[in-house]
Every structure is written in structure tokens, then in C-alpha cells.
Amino acid sequence: MNFRDIFSLSLRNLLQAKLRTVLTTIGVIVGVAAIVTMVSFGIGLQDNLLRDALGRIDLLTSINVIGPGADAMLAMREGAGDGDNAIGRRLLDDAAIDELRSIPDVRYVNPQLSFDGYVRFEGHTRRIGIGGAPLIVSDNPRFMNILAGGHFSSGDAREAVITERFLQRLRSKSIPRGSPPRQQGGEAGPFRQPPTRSDEERQRDARAVLGSDLIMLTLPGSGAGGAVFGIPLPAMTGFEEQQDGDVTPGFEEHRFKIVGVLKSPDGIDFQLGGNQLLYLPFEVARQFREGSSDPLRQMGEMLAGGSGYQGAEIRVADIGRVEAVKEEIRRRGFNFISLGNQIEEIKRVFLIVNASLAVLGGLALLVASFGISNTMIMSIRERTREIGIMKAIGGSDGEVMRIFFVEACLIGVAGGVIGVICGWGIDRIANLFANRWIAQQAGRAVRHIEFFSIPWYLSGGAILFALLISLVAAIYPASRAAKVDPIIALK
């Protein structure tokens, strides 16, 4: 008997008991939809976390050296922490930065310099993270991703490069939560997303602020205002200068001209120290940082005998040399974090998460397989005579068996395909509600987030699994059908 005949025979058998077939198939649909929905959520989560990381090779060639804090240095000076590798032993000062720069295959080393400051812009004053940026930023992805404008004209220019999130934060109507605000721009939860807007709109917004001034506020008499650093003395705040009248007089104001706007990364910002919304020329930032550091920290640095950078971002010229450079950095006594390892780690965790989700969904499908067995056994009981007839007129055991296997396959594949479609539908609806909920929480339009992802291997795998389960469920009924004795069946 050729396959086409077996297929149409199986199909007609199924259609003869439509309700039973439909109910059995619904069992499979539920199981497959459960697998697809759950696993697609896991994969979606993973994608959201890793989309940028995997899409950008620059994250894999980046090594973040961590400098010991003043307290760690102080303790180490007193002989603590022998053999403790968790903390870098070396102070990350300018000499260390130069040493790191000398390592072969290192393209550049950006010492990380950041502090919090109060900044006024368009009449709003907010506390934000401020960072120092090198003058030369060629091939540094963070500063090359420009929405409008450019970079500082010189190392001591009173110029600022802002990020898109700077604008969002300063213009935000919502009350900042927590202090210090380590999660600036994170209004949409863990997914830092710029608003849903077209690139043209974003560029237009960015261009509009180019050339305008922002004002950094410092306490009078703090180091930053001093002429010692070669910075011109700032104008004292006067009532006549107040734009909105909401600033308490008595602060020093430092004006910076906005020369560039950086595009906020989509998805999650993987850059360590990615909380800076505003960048100043490195040396300028350094002076302000010293000026703004609190007395306790100053004391710690004095006790430790020096202050280093919190960290430094190292870019390796060639991805193939990353491991060698890491080894060299380790040998020189620095500690570091490299995203390459973390991505592997994240993927491993998600593999476990997704597998557990798949197992949960698989249980539903397993239950469905009992339904298939049950349906087929019932159907064989009803059709014993028919099976006897088929055998009497020349049907072989194998052919009878095949008819039932194909029936099970049809249930499995139909249930699988419909189940995948249902899973996709559930994903779409859930995604819609989730985004609506986030928008509500954020109080503004946020970029649409895909919480679910159904890659082809998930849908294909789910259908294949449904098929497999159906085949297994059919083993017993089909072999029972093949064993029907025509003489007894035809009596």
C-alpha cells in the first residue's frame, strides 16, 4: 500500500470520529502551546539581555580593569588580604594606566572617572552621573555613537557631550527615585529603553540642544572653583541670572556648552560605569571630581596614600588576542572583568532556565500523549472488525500498524502546528499587555519590548516533539491493531 493510500485511510478514520479527534488534538495543542509560550519567554529574556552584547564585537574586545578603592588600599598597606585575588593589588593611578597602555595589542585605555553632580538644564536641576571623556575617541564605540554634533574641541574646553538619556532625565516629569540615582534612565525597569521615536525625531531633538549651555552647580569654595586648577573663576550666582528662580543663591555655577549628543544604546547598556549621562573633557572632569568628593573619601585617600581610578576600560585591537592581554593584565597584578566570560555564563544559566521551562511544557504534552493512546485504543476497539477485514483481503500487519501510526502522526503534527500558532498568539497578547503595563508604570511612551522570541528551532522542535510523543503513544495501540486475529474479528 503506498503512502498516499495509507494517509487518506488514516485521515478518513480520524474524520469519522471528529469530536474525539478534536478533543485529543486539543490536548496536544495545549501541551505544545505551553512549551512554546514558556520557552519563548525564556529565550526572549535571554535575547533582550544579550542582543547588544552578541551583536557588538566591541563588547567582547573590551576588558574592564578594576582599581582597588581607597579602603582596600589602606587595608593592603597594612598587610591584609594576602593571596586574595578578588581585588586588584595595584593602585590604578596614571602610572598604572600608562603601563596598561604599553601592553601589546592594547588599542586604548580609558581610565574611568565618574562622579555625581547637580546639573541645571532648561530650568531643571537634577543629580546625575558625570564622566570624563578622552579627547581622542576614534574607535571608542561609546563616543562614536553620535546622534548630533561632535566631540570636545580641546582638552580643557568648557564643553560637554551629553547622552540622550541626559535629556530624558532632565526633562522627566517623574520624581527621581532613590539616591544616589544609580539607575538613571531606567524608568522602564531593567530594560533601559529610549522613547519610541523615529531616528529623525531623535536627531532633531538632539540638534536642537547643540550649542546651548548647561550649568553645573558646586558648593562655594569647593576645589573645582579654585583657580589652582587653571579654570577661570565661575560667575557667582546672582538673582538677576536666575532663569526660573528655583535655585538657591550661593552656589557656584559652571557653564558648559553642549557640543555633542550621544545616542543611548538600545536594550541594556553593558558598558561598565554606563551610568554617566554627561561627559566633560577628562582633565576638567578630574578637577570637578576632586572638588566634589566628600570629606570621608578625601580622608580615605589620604590614609591610603593616593587615589586611583575606579576602573579603566581597555580595548584590545584583535579579538583573538583578548585572552593573551587578559593574562598579561593579570600577571601585572590588576583585576578585571571581561564581558566575554559573562556572556557565556549568562547563556549557560539561560540554557538551564529554558530547559526547565521546556520540561514543564513537556509534562503537559506527556499528559496529552496518554490522551492519544486512549483515543487510539478506543478507536481500535471500535474498528476491530474493519481491521479484520483489511487483513482478510490482504493487508499486512505492517500496513495496519502504519495506518495507526500515521493517524497518531496526524494528531501530533496538527496539534503541534496549531499549538505553535496558539503559543505565538498567547505571546503576542501577553506582549501587548506587558508593554501596556510598562508604559503605564513609566507614565510615558517607552520603546516596544519583545518579551518573547520564537526562533525556528523552538517551533520546529515543539512540532517534532509533539510528533515524537504521538508516535510513542501509538506504539502500543498500533501493535495491538496489528495483532488483531482476523478470524476472531470477523466472527
How many of the other CB atoms lie within 10 Å of CB of 80? 10
Q: How far is the CB of 415 from another protein (least distance, A)?
A: 24
Instruction: Specify the residue, 127 or 385, whose C-beta has the smaller distance to another protein.
Output: 385
Min CB(10)–another protein separation in Å:
12
Beta strand segments in 339-417, E = none
Cβ–Cβ < 8 Å for 450, 48 = yes
Q: Sheet containing 335-338: which strands, arranged edge to edge? A: 106-112, 311-316, 62-66, 335-338
Dihedrals phi, psi of 313, to nearest 5 degrees: -95, 125
Q: How far is the CB of 3 from another protein (least distance, A)?
A: 11
Q: Which is nearer to another protein, 233 or 393 (CB)?
A: 393
Specify the pairing of strand 252-262 against strand 159-163.
Answer: parallel
Nearer to another protein, 236 or 392 (CB): 392
Smallest gap from Cβ 378 to another protein, in A, equals 16
Nearer to another protein, 396 or 441 (CB): 396
Q: How many CA atoms lie within 13 A of 152 on its CB side?
A: 25
For CA atoms 224, 229, 232, 233, give the dihedral sign. positive
Q: Are strands 124-133 and 276-281 parallel, antiparallel or unpaired?
A: parallel
Cβ 414 to another protein shortest distance, Å:
21
CB nearer another protein, residue 356 or residue 396: 396
Shortest distance, position 456 Cβ to another protein, whole Å: 34
Give min distance, CB of 480 to another protein, in A.
16
Asked if residues 58 and 315 have their Cβ atoms less than 8 Å apart, the reply is yes
Secondary structure tally for the chain: helices H, strands E: 16, 11
Measured from the CB atom, is 8 or 196 closer to another protein?
A: 8
Give me the residue label for grid cell 561609546. Answer: 142
Judged by CB, which is closer to another protein: 16, or 243? 16
- Of 28 and 376, CB closest to another protein: 376
Work out how close the CB of 485 gets to another protein at its nearest, in angstroms, rounded to a whole number: 9
For residue 27, how many other CB atoms are within 10 A of its CB?
A: 22
CB of 34 to another protein, least distance (A): 35
Q: How far is the CB of 16 from another protein (least distance, A)?
A: 6
Which backbone phi and psi does 277 adopt, to 5 degrees? Answer: -105, -10
Consecutive H or E run containing 404: helix 397-442
Kindly tell me which of 9 and 170 has the beta carbon lying closer to another protein: 9
HEC string for 218-246: ECCCCHHHCHHHCCCCCCECCHHHCCCCC
> Rounded to 10 degrees, what is the CA torsion of 241, 206, 119, 244?
30
CB of 339 or CB of 400, closer to another protein: 400
DSSP codes joined into one string, 86-154: SS-SS--SHHHHHHHHTSTTEEEEEEE-EEEEEEEETTEEEEEEEEEE-S--TT-HHHH-EEEE---SS
Contact assessment for residue 256 and residue 159, using Cβ atoms and an 8 Å cutoff: yes
Binding site for another protein (CB under 8 A): 1-2, 4-5, 9, 12, 16, 385-386, 388-399, 486-487, 490
